[in-house]
């Protein structure tokens, strides 16, 4: 949820800033250069370009969680140090000296933490303002790329941290929370933390480069992408509803999170999807496509979908940006007005039920084809090879792009403790030219976090789409119809 919506009690604030015990931590070149991923190259180049143009677009991915009782400050500092020493990507410094982006990595023993007393805040409002400013101070072009701290109170402590996207993704936040909380519990009992092994993000980077460095526009792996672009008419699939934005202009954002379905309703929806050989994320994607259609969008849904690549190696407990963005398209033409059925009717034997089954079939086929044909194509590679030349070096997408993301936080490390820890992810961007949806599931239900341009038309469009999507999901869960 947005950090501005979090109810965190005030207290005394401590910050721990990572520092190097060697000169390499200040970003000076070392002896060994390491590879970076294509995502990191694009992200760093965009930040450099924005700095040169004095373009104040900023983003962060942050997390907060609670430790009950009076905190052991020494144990917490040890846990935070253990965390940054455990994950090599957090110890990387990035340089673009000549040609490609590279990085140096500090050895675990070459980093330390320096504590800074930030004083006391006396109200929730003041604390939210502090956290917002603190999170925004993360800078792609400045080391360290993670900032950490805590709000100390007699009865509990709130731990907080923020990362630049160059070293993190949506699944890294629960990894970080579980690592820090588990390590703290161990150090508070004078024990060593017991956590699963992590993979090497640098090894992941090297392997990605090895597989794709020679890829050119004639590579057969790009055929699926080329067909998608040909049918779409553009590399970047447009968000199909009016947001009231002017071409080439960026706008301040609105960041909102809300529940779509309670846990019981999500379970019912999941059962409906499984009954027609689908999965929950497929049902959710179908609901988005159908809802856009109901709001005046096209009969064919086309969009980008980020997909985790953590299953490619031992990365389940590793911090990093393990995401590829892939194109997906499917038809919702089978959905017609008046296909809903009354509550209690067996929807699978109605016109509405047949439409539900058909659209889920379309989504399942599309998702299978997407993974089969684009998994081995890094998104940034496809962007540079297939997008129009004028889009090659953009700092951001050229216009409002259709974007769908889904995460099931119940499957992330430490999920059994999320509620007790009040574990929360915060994603933010200062400006945008479109709207992005991050759907996520936890033990309480299904939610959507949206970051969108702040225009009157966008507010109207977002609210109308949200109402239609909620009604569509409820109908799907209740009767297997749209």
pLDDT in tens, 297-326: 999 999 999 999 998 778 999 999 999 999
For each of the domains in the chain, give its residue range(s) and CATH number, in order of start.
3-207 (3.30.559.10), 217-479 (3.30.559.30)
For residue 148, give the DSSP letter.
E
Range name among 22-26, 96-100, 174-178 with the lowest pLDDT average: 22-26
Query: Dihedrals φ, ψ of 272, to 5°?
Result: -60, -40
Q: Would the pLDDT of 367 be above 60?
A: yes
Q: What's the rounded Cα separation, in Å, for the pair 72 and 424?
A: 22
CB 276 within 8 A of CB 360: yes
Which pLDDT score, from 0 to 100, does residue 245 have? 97
CA-nearest of 207, 215, 165, 217 to 46 is 165
Q: What is the mean pLDDT of the chain?
A: 93
Q: What's the rounded Cα separation, in Å, for the pair 260 and 467?
A: 9
User: DSSP labels for 47-99?
Assistant: HHHHHHTT----EEEEEEEEEESS--HHHHHHHHHHHHHH-GGGGEEEE-SSS
For residue 400, give the DSSP letter.
-
CB 84 within 8 A of CB 92: no
Structure tokens at 202: 């640098």
Q: Would the pLDDT of 194 be above 80?
A: yes
CB 260 within 8 A of CB 470: yes
Structure tokens at 387: 């997008």
Query: β-strand 435-442 against 404-408: which pairing, if any?
Result: parallel
Cα–Cα distances in angstroms (integers) from residue 196 to residues 57, 179, 318, 425, in the given order: 36, 10, 10, 22
Q: What's the rounded Cα separation, in Å, for the pair 281 and 283?
A: 5
CA-nearest of 377, 371, 225, 373 to 311 is 371
Q: Is the dihedral of CA 66, 70, 75, 76 positive or negative?
A: positive
pLDDT in tens, 33-45: 788 999 999 999 9
Structure tokens at 54: 């004095």
Which residues have a Cβ under 8 Å from the Cβ of 230 and sit 6 or more positions away? none
Q: Would the pLDDT of 348 be above 50?
A: no
Structure tokens at 151: 């709000």
pLDDT in tens, 417-442: 999 999 999 999 999 999 999 999 99
Q: What's the rounded Cα separation, in Å, for the pair 5 and 168?
A: 22
For the entire predicted model, the pTM comes to 0.94
């Amino acid at each position: 949820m947005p950090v501005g919506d979090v109810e965190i009690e005030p207290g005394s604030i401590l910050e721990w800033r990572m520092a190097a015990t060697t000169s390499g931590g200040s970003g000076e070149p070392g002896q060994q250069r390491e590879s970076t991923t294509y995502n990191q190259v694009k992200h760093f180049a965009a930040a450099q370009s924005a700095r040169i143009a004095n373009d104040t677009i900023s983003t962060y991915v942050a997390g907060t969680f609670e430790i009950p009782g009076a905190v052991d400050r020494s144990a917490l500092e040890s846990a935070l140090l253990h965390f940054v020493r455990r994950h090599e990507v957090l110890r990387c410094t990035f340089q673009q000296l000549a040609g490609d982006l590279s990085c140096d990595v500090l050895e675990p023993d070459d980093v330390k933490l320096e504590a800074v007393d930030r004083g006391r805040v006396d109200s929730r409002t003041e604390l939210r303002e502090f956290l917002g400013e603190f999170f925004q101070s993360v800078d792609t072009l400045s080391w360290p790329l993670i900032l950490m701290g805590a709000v100390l109170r007699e009865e509990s402590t709130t731990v907080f941290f923020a990362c630049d996207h160059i070293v993190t993704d949506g699944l890294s936040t629960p990894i970080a929370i579980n690592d820090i909380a588990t390590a703290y519990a161990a150090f508070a009992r004078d024990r060593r933390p017991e956590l699963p092994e992590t993979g090497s993000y640098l090894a992941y980077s090297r392997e990605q480069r090895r597989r794709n460095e020679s890829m050119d526009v004639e590579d057969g792996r790009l055929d699926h992408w080329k067909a998608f672009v040909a049918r779409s008419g553009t590399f970047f699939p447009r968000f199909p509803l009016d947001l009231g934005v002017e071409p080439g202009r960026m706008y301040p954002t609105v960041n909102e999170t809300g529940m779509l379905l309670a846990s019981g309703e999500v379970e019912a929806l999941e059962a409906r999807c499984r009954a027609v050989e689908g999965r929950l994320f497929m049902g959710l994607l179908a609901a988005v496509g159908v809802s856009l259609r109901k709001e005046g969008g096209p009969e064919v849904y086309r969009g980008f979908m980020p997909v985790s690549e953590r299953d490619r190696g031992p990365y389940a407990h590793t911090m990093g940006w393990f995401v590829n963005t892939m194109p997906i398209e499917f038809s919702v033409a089978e959905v017609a007005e008046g296909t809903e059925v009354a509550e209690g009717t067996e929807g699978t034997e109605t016109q509405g039920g047949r439409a539900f089954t058909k659209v889920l079939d379309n989504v399942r086929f599309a998702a299978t084809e997407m993974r089969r044909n684009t998994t081995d194509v890094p998104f940034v590679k496809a962007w540079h090879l297939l997008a129009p030349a004028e889009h090659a070096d953009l700092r951001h997408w050229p216009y409002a792009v259709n974007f769908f993301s889904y995460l099931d936080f119940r499957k992330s490390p430490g999920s059994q403790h999320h509620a007790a820890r009040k574990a929360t992810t915060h994603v933010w961007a200062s400006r945008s030219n479109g709207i992005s949806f991050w759907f996520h599931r936890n033990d309480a239900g299904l939610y959507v976090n949206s970051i969108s341009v702040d225009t009157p038309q966008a507010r109207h469009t977002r609210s109308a789409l949200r109402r239609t999507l909620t009604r569509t999901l409820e109908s799907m869960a209740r009767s297997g119809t749209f």
